[in-house]
Every structure is written in C-alpha cells, then in structure tokens.
Structure 1
C-alpha cells in the first residue's frame, strides 16, 4: 500500500464512465494482467468493446478512485440484470427458477471491481463497492470471482457475499465462483 495520500471516489453514470474510459482501461489492464487472470492486450480490447455497450445500459452504475493528482487507482461498475439476462445460464449446475427470476431491478450485476497493486490494503475496494451500491434499490448483487484471487474472494466473503454456484462467464474462461449478496431494505 502507498503512503497517506487522499484517494477520492467518484460515482459515475454511464455517460461519465464512457468519458473516463481511458482511466477505467488503465486500472483494468494493469490489474487483470496479473495472475490468475493473465489477460492480454486483446482481452482488454474485447472487455472495452463490451464496456462501451455496458455504459449505455440505463441502470449502469460505476465508481472511479483517483489520487489527488488524478491518477486512476481503482474502478467498479455494473448494471441491473434484465429479464432476458444470460448470467444464470452460465452456471455449471442450474439454480432454481426463483433464483433466476429477473425483472430489470431485482439483481445488480457487479461486472468489475479492481484496485491497482500499490493502493491495495487501504479499503479502496470497499469504498468503490459501497459507492456503486449506494442508493441502489436492487434486492441483491451477483458477481463472478476467480477462485484463485484469494484476496478478492476473502474481501467479498467478509462483506457478506455467499457462493451460489460456479460458472464460466465467457467462452474459454476459467471456472469462477458466483457470489450473491442480499441487500438490506
């Protein structure tokens, strides 16, 4: 973890996230180049083709962490799952229909949460997470996490997430844990 600099967390809607794409890309490319992800430049390009369409979702919510001088250090973003989402179809063992039911408001899909290495361990990930969920009226949050990303798995569990299955989130992906967090109302 770096020294005692101030890190600002900015909530962003889809339009603001699209305008800050370069900052999101810097964080994503650095964090997901690390094991266990080992993403390549082509993987990053594919992610940001999806990012552009994700930011156009009317339920998109994001957060960007920056240093006092504007250097991007962390990101989080996602959107509500629609009635025809394929998220639940990727699980290796089907879940009950009641868990799969989506209406465009019930479940917030947390697509990415990442903090660059020098800034880890200071609570930035939790602040990003809480910023994205602040004021969210979803019943629950779902996400996929690589099981070998021990720090991420540990953080999510300490925040109240529970494992509901395993999935391959995209073709050729490693098996990921699918975690669910019930939100208080």
Structure 2
C-alpha cells in the first residue's frame, strides 16, 4: 500500500520533540510491534519513560515526518554520547580504545529511526536520517540494529555505515544487535 501526497519532515530540538511525544510514541509503537522487534505496550511505555530525559540533553535532535494533514509517519532521534557512556561496554567483544573514546561531542547516538508500514519504500527513512544528521556536529554516528531486521541493516550499509561489533543492550535477555558506525568526516 502506498500513501500519496507530500511528506514534510520537521527538524526538532528536545523541547519541540517533547511537545510532539504522542506522534513519536505512535510511530514507535506501530513500527516496533512488528517482527523482529515484537515490542509490547510495556516495552513502548519503558521507551517513553526514557524519552523526556533523553530529550533534555543539550545535544538531543529529532526529525518527525508527517503527511499534509498532520498524520505522523516516521521519526528519528538521538543525542551525542557522554564521555562515560556504557554503549561501548555492551559489545560482546572489545574494540580498540581509540574507537571507544568519547568526549561528549565525538559520537552521535542514533537512538531510533522508524517509518510506519504504509509509508515505507518511499525514501522517508533516508530523508529523516539526512535531516537529523544535518543538525549535528559530531564526527560519527553510532547505532544498534536488530540482526533480524534485514531491511534496516541493508539501508544503513547503503548509507555508509559499517559494522564494528555486536551487542546485547539492556542485559543478556536482549536480542543480539549489530553495532554500526558512520564516519561523517
């Protein structure tokens, strides 16, 4: 199914994203309910308990895609990694110290990127990604992608990301994720 019409993408800082939290939640809940994620209402609630604290970070940036009538169809958001981030500690095998080094500005962590099913295959994810990255000053972008999400992994590779390891975020019960890095400089 293809949705016709113009899709507008808005770049947001944290305060604007908090004002639009219902749109982010709707996209997240629908996109991540599908396999391989299979997120439940409890998973969505947990993600959006974290959202306000993420959005308060000075480096938080978001992009929200909507139809001409305001229907939310896609989103992306993240923030730079703090010097004491645990992101690198979650890898199943250590990476070199130079890769792990964070200073609060070096690496933008892409926390979420999702497009609702009926609007996929129209380049919206790429536009969200480009809009989001157009607002950051980091030298690289880091993300985790579920290994079962072949479409997402393929898109990230086309966009220039490379796999640098594997991780089980949030503990041993989580699905294995590919850790991917995009050099911006």
Q: Same fold (TM over 0.5)?
A: yes
TM-score, with length taken from structure 1: 0.98
| Larger deviation, residues 132-141 vs 148-157 | 132-141
Alpha carbon RMSD of aligned pairs, Å?
Answer: 0.8
> Could you tell me how far 1:3 is from its partner in structure 2?
3.5
> Could you tell me how far 1:49 is from its partner in structure 2?
0.6
Q: Does the 8 Å contact 2:82/2:103 carry over to 1?
A: yes
Gapped runs of 5+ residues in structure 1?
A: none
Q: Which residue of 2 aligns with 1:92?
A: 92
1:94-140 Cα offsets, whole Å, 9 max, x none, are: 11110010001100000000000000001000000011110421110
TM-score, with length taken from structure 2: 0.98
The alignment status of 1:146 with 2:138, answered yes or no, reads: no
Gapped runs of 5+ residues in structure 2?
A: none
Structure 1 outlier segments of 4+, above 4 Å: none
SS state at 1:35 partner: coil
> Could you tell me how far 1:170 is from its partner in structure 2?
1.3
Distance 1:142 1:108 in 2: 6
Q: Which residue of 2 aligns with 1:72?
A: 72
1:148-185 Cα offsets, whole Å, 9 max, x none, are: 1111000000000000000011122100000000003x
Q: Which residue of 2 aligns with 1:106?
A: 106
